[in-house]
Chains A and B, each alone.
Chain A
Amino acid sequence: MSGKGPFLTLAFVALCGAALAVASADVSPAGGPFDAAIEKAQQRVVKLYGGSLGREKGYGSGIVVSADGKIVTALSILLEGRTLRVVLPDGRRFPARIVARDRHRQLALLQIDAFGLPCFELKGSVHLRPGDWLIAAANPFKVADGPEPVSVSLGVLSGRTRLAARRHAQDFPYTGPVLLTDVIVATAGSAGGALVDADGNLVGLIGKAVTSKQTNTWLNYALPVEEVAAFLRESSAEPGREEPKTVGAKIIFALPVAPRPNLGIRLFDVGGRQPPPYVERVRPDSPAWHAGLRPNDLILSIDGQQVVTCADLRKAVNKLRPGRPVPLVIKRREEVVTLELTPEEPSP
């Protein structure tokens, strides 16, 4: 229609007069300075799903430390469930078994049957100075599902200290060095996630949510990567090392969950300094199951020995001889019932 005027030339009131000026486009680039680090971290952090108990959530995070499926995470209730499932960043799911635990550092080493995984190199964290950028990659509140990338959060290294902390009413066993950050990582599901530097190198493993003994506030901290490496060395599971080494005093392999000898029960042992021995779960076909024990029963005495706390019960059970029936007195609702229980050999 060039050269021919429009039928009606109509004016139009500009609508953009008062629009806020949009800053030049370079402030929102297609790629940000942390993109590579974020992607590297997200490809090496896994989602964990396991048991839950009370306030303890049945999900968490972990870091891949070897291409052949070794994963480090924080020790927690979620590892004690009937099943433990790992979801890789690509969405693949694997059952995991616990290879080693470190009661002091509160770490666990898991193994899945996968190969060729992207994994973190365990270098060091000493290069970091307070104020340096840190990126947290973890799955708090299990926001990410399946193949969805885990959550990332950005902050700085606030400082280093030795941990003096409490978890609920109990003292937290780890008292070694930690990295402190302003990234909020003391959240459900974050424990076991990665703290990486601006280049995506692992500098720490996000620890279990604990409160400071001094200030009673939640601590945002990570175990330095050096401690993770030390755990792997001690559990002779360092990537690339073939020869199993002597197991350090702090490492206990495949500790059974139930007290030994095996009764086949799990106690409601969480929170409080001296939890009474309430039964949380009874494994079918176990000695406790055959004795007629049920969840929510409170154990009063075993083999004539009165038990007040979970710890008392464990001590008493350790004295029992497999194969010999013993009386078990329990309180079920308002009733006191006596059962007969025959302990089994401890499970391997």
Chain B
Amino acid sequence: MSASAVAQDDDAALAAVRADEARRVAVFDQAAQVVVCIFADRELSRGGSGVIIHQDGYGLTNFHVVAEFLETRRGYGGLADGRLYPLRLLGIDPGGDVALFKLEGQDRFDFAPLGDSDQLHVGQWVAAMGNPFMVAEDFAPTITLGVISGLHRYQYGRGEEGSLLEYADCIQVSTSINPGNSGGPLFDLAGRVIGINGRASFDDGERRRVNVGLGYAVSINQIKRFLPALRAGRLCEHGTLGATVQLAGDELIFNAIQGLSAAERAGVQLGDELLVLAGRRVRTPNDVNNILATLPADWPVSISLRRDGREITTAVRLDRLPLRMPQPYVLDLEHNHAEVRKLFERYSSRPAAEAETGVGRPAWRCRFTQTIGEQTDTVELTVSWDATGTMRVERGGEGLTFELGDAVLVADVDAAPSAGWRNKTVWSEWQHITAPLLSPDMVGLGWELLGSDEVQGKIASIVEWRVADGQQIRWAFDYETGRLLEARVFDARHPGAVVWLPDPQPAPGRLVFPDRWTRQTGSGVRTVIEMVSDVEGTP
């Protein structure tokens, strides 16, 4: 190769490096705009870091950063625009060292998208941003660059049972993490939040508390499971199996199982070999900790075991890991109701379709299909609402009338299924389930955003409405898309939940009122309501 060809190659390589750097600078410049310098007081003397993850100003930080103002739930957040905003503390997760806050004083905030921390690899470049040693007088965050040094790391928690500030399945980085970085985001090179920086190893005793190249970030995928509960303003709890395993050779053996624990309910026996937990192959007790400590209490998990050479797969909901807090964390009901309304509003946002929404809309022709065993029965009928919210179902001069709030939900659940479309329970349930989608303003007393659950394999926000004594409806919304996944109707007197499944939405992102609903009961009765057209025949 000639000298000039080499020089050209060098030029090309240099140009590529420069382009890469320019892109990195641009990404970090944008990312820095959503990093928050958190302060406990106006003197700006104590605090940490955070990051905005939603346009309404919701942001993530560490619990140990906001523990300073747990009582008032009020602090301050400085952004790179040089302004200081009031900050309100919402949900907390002391076990996972995570907290959710909301910046106030602006309608819309820039925010960072969340990445997928299961797709990371060791050696990949990452950047930490925050306010180490509180050096940022103008709130412009400090950026430090490094690589992922290790994944699926386990760092013991504090507190009596080690259940506080436990870093399980966390991301280890070589990026400088110093006091003050706590709560700040860990970004990938695309500007996505992949973790919340919160801990570091220091040569305590021998040297000061300064970075020696080992920082730890809570993985964003763990945080995603708690986000619905954090948004609800709750004190989050983590899950446990109520059992321990130990290595015997290279087999993980259950060596202790608490009575009435999740493990016992799942049918696990002493001496069983644990193979797979929550979909992940486990080899060491650390693997088990890494999985369980990242799951909320009551989370559904599957367990695969080997017993006497046979493989058994079972499933159970996790128990609550005891969490000792100095004082109870009281739920802010007003905030909680606002969060519930937000979930329903995504289906009924005004003003574009105002004419069609709310009570007092025109009548619609619906197709009603009921399947019991082999027998299917289909009828067409008309459904209408009047201005007071009363629903009327008619067919050939025959009709049923319901007022919202009538406590008839599952009152005649035992009525002969052959009653078909005249089964009042079906219509009453449907009215109750769809009403808040059409009129979110009805949310008030008796409503609550419960928190997170896994529904149809997705992280869901669960809303509960206690309709009447012993009767509840629970809606599950996909946290990421806002789509309604299902609604369940519970009745203390008639155990066995009824599930309503709306049809999957056609277009991603855009939420429209589902035009097909399927109702399933524990006894196998399947009912479908399809909206066909309005009474004038306009589809």
Contact = CB atoms under 8 A, between A and B. Distances in A.
A126 interface: no
A35 interface: yes
Given A18-B55, A23-B23, A149 B150 contact: yes
Contacts of B33: 20
Interface string A1-42: 101111111111111111111111101101110110010001
Contact of A20 (B111, B146, B350): B111
B528 to A, nearest CB: 12
Interface residues of A, number: 56
Contact of B212 (A21, A154, A184): A184
A28 B124 contact: yes
Contacts of A32: 121, 123-125
Contacts of A186: 212
Contacts of B438: 8
Contact of B357 (A10, A25, A30, A184): A10
B286 A146 contact: yes
B113 A20 contact: yes
A11 B349 contact: yes
Nearest to A38: B123
A13 B349 contact: yes
A7 B356 CA distance: 9
Contact of A10 (B113, B153, B512): B512
Contacts of A10: 347-349, 352-353, 356-357, 511-513
Interface string A133-171: 001000011011111111111100000000000000000
Contacts of A42: 122
B516 interface: yes
B27 interface: yes
B188 interface: yes
Contacts of A35: 121, 123
A192 to B, nearest CB: 17
Contacts of A289: none
Contacts of A21: 30, 191
Interface of A is mostly: loop
A149 B111 contact: no
Nearest to B54: A15
A10 B345 CA distance: 10
B190 interface: yes
The interface centre, meaning the residue of B33, B112, B174, B250 with most chain A CB atoms within 10 A of its CB, is B174
Contacts of B214: 140-141, 143, 151, 187
Interface string A31-58: 1101100100010000000000001000
B368 to A, nearest CB: 14
Interface residues of B, number: 77
Contacts of B532: 4
Contacts of A25: 190
A10 B503 CA distance: 15
Contacts of A15: 55, 482
Nearest to B284: A146
A146 to B, nearest CB: 5
Interface string B192-208: 10000000010101110
Contacts of A12: 346-347, 349, 509-512
Contacts of A1: 503, 515-516, 530
Nearest to B358: A8
B356 A8 contact: yes
A146 B212 CA distance: 23
B533 interface: yes
Given A4-B515, A4-B532, A32-B124, A151 B149 contact: yes
A153 B349 contact: no
Contact of B113 (A7, A19, A31, A149): A19
Contacts of B324: none
A18 B349 contact: no
A120 to B, nearest CB: 18
Interface in A258-284: none
A18 B110 contact: yes
A77 interface: no
Contact of B191 (A22, A38, A141, A218): A22
A179 B250 CA distance: 40
A186 B212 CA distance: 8
Contacts of B538: 5
Given A23-B27, A31-B121, A141-B201, A151 B352 contact: no
B189 A27 contact: yes
13 contacts: A4-B515, A5-B539, A7-B514, A9-B356, A12-B346, A13-B346, A20-B111, A20-B112, A32-B121, A34-B123, A143-B155, A153-B146, A218-B207
Interface of A: 1, 3-25, 27-28, 30-32, 34-35, 38, 42, 55, 91, 135, 140-141, 143-154, 183-184, 186-188, 218
Q: Which 8 A-B pairs have the closest CB atoms?
A: A11-B352, A7-B531, A184-B213, A5-B539, A8-B513, A153-B174, A151-B149, A23-B190
